[in-house]
């Protein structure tokens, strides 16, 4: 098979995994258990990267992958000179895998269907890889370098499978990316709704070009933010608006956004919504992207 043929084969295998409905029952049960442990609010925000403005899991994955892969390189190339460094790297990799896995599990627990199935296999491959590195660490403590090296390489192979599936989820299926990024918002004043259609304390959905907008009138002021949720594309215009805090809660995974500036109050979202300046002109509500 040519190089391109292998790549196409990997992609097709990942697509097939996404169609394995028999994974749904165990995956959904585990996802529910994760949701119960993580809950909504502080821990969820921490694991989602809400305060960072960037999903946490992909930031953390570099640490265990980097340290464990480096340990295996030292095992193979540096031999006795690199033994101590390799052992420290394996221990560090295993320690750093704990918060990495917790952040990944929190993200994964919000997924459905093919994303949830592929995410489950991604997690299992990584857990097997980490287990093999844990076993490798025991062999290192016994001084059995040959076994330690072999177990490390087996662990890296399993983690490579997990890593490929993680990349497939992000780059082929758009999991964890800003789902509102490709909505093209108007940069010049654009009429989007009849003024009479938006009463005080009410919200409305408007469409302009390929962007959808949530409008909300409060104390005479009209707020406007992108209505496609940055987390996974949920419809914010179907969410609950809290007049007291002037926020909207996404109906899909309960991220909370400020209507004033699109900021994230609670995750799992980590990226703010686009916000618009508003004005009324000739009986129409007009908006333009706030810079
Ligand atoms: S789509 Fe997940 S919180 Fe909005």
For residue 233, report the distance from its CA to the centre of ligand 1, in Å.
Answer: 6
In angstroms and rounded to an integer, the radius of gyration of the C-alpha atoms of the chain is 24
What is the domain extent for residue 228? 190-289
Is residue 206 located within the same domain as residue 83? no
Q: Whose CA is nearest to atom 2 of ligand 1?
A: 253
pLDDT in tens, 92-115: 999 999 999 999 999 999 999 999
Angle between helices 113-141 and 3-18 (to 10 degrees): 110
The CATH number given to whatever domain includes residue 229 is 2.102.10.10
User: pTM, whole model, 2 decimals?
Assistant: 0.87
CA distances from 281 to 63, 209, 237 (A): 54, 19, 23
Mean pLDDT (whole number) for 20-24: 96
Whether residue 231 has pLDDT greater than 80: yes
pLDDT of residue 7: 64
Burial of 219 (0-12, 13-18, 19+ CB in 10 A): exposed
Same domain, 129 and 252: no
- Residue 273 CA to residue 152 CA, distance in Å, equals 43
The minimum-distance atom of ligand 1 relative to the CA of 234 is: 1
pLDDT value at 247 more than 60? yes
Centre of ligand 1 from the C-alpha of residue 257, in Å? 10
Pocket test for ligand 1, best of 250, 256, 265 (most atoms within 8 A of CB): 250
**Residues near ligand 1 (Cβ within 6 A):** 229, 231-234, 250, 252-253, 255, 268-269
Q: 151 CA to middle of ligand 1, Å?
A: 40
What pLDDT is attached to residue 44? 93
The answer on 52 and 12 residing in a single domain is: yes
Average pLDDT, the chain: 93
pLDDT of residue 3: 60
Domain count, the chain: 2
**pLDDT tens-digit readout, 173-226:** 999 888 878 777 788 899 999 999 999 989 999 998 888 999 999 988 999 999
Instruction: Among 114, 139, 172, identify where a domain stops.
Output: 172
Q: Tell me, what's the pLDDT at 56?
A: 95
Instruction: Please check whether residue 63 lies inside any domain of the structure.
Output: yes
Summarize the confidence of residues 5-33 as an average pLDDT: 90
Q: For position 1, what pLDDT does the model report?
A: 57
Mean pLDDT computed over 18-36: 96
């Amino acid at each position: 098979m040519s190089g391109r043929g292998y790549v196409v084969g990997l992609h097709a295998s990942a697509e097939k995994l996404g169609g394995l409905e028999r994974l749904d029952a165990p995956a959904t049960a585990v996802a529910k258990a994760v949701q119960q442990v993580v809950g909504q609010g502080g821990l969820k925000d921490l694991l989602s990267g809400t305060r960072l403005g960037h999903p946490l899991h992909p930031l953390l994955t570099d640490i265990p992958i980097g340290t464990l892969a480096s340990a295996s390189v030292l095992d193979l190339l540096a031999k006795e000179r690199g033994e101590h460094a390799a052992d420290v790297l394996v221990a560090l990799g295993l320690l750093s895998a704990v918060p990495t896995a917790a952040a990944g599990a929190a993200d994964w627990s919000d997924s459905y269907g093919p994303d949830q199935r592929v995410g489950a296999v991604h997690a299992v491959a990584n857990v097997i890889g980490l287990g093999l590195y844990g076993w490798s660490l025991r062999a290192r403590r016994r001084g059995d370098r040959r076994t330690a090296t072999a177990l490390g390489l087996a662990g890296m192979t399993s983690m490579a499978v997990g890593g490929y599936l993680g990349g497939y989820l992000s780059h082929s299926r758009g999991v964890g990316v800003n789902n509102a990024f490709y909505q093209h918002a108007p940069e010049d004043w654009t009429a989007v709704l009849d003024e009479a259609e938006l009463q005080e304390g009410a919200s409305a959905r408007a469409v302009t070009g390929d962007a959808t907008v949530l409008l909300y009138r409060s104390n005479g002021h009209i707020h406007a933010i992108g209505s496609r949720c940055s987390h996974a594309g949920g419809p914010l215009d179907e969410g609950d608006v809290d007049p007291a805090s002037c926020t909207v809660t996404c109906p899909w995974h309960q991220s909370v956004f400020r209507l004033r500036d699109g900021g994230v109050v609670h995750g799992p979202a980590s990226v703010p919504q686009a916000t618009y300046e508003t004005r009324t002109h000739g009986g129409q509500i007009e908006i333009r992207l706030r810079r």
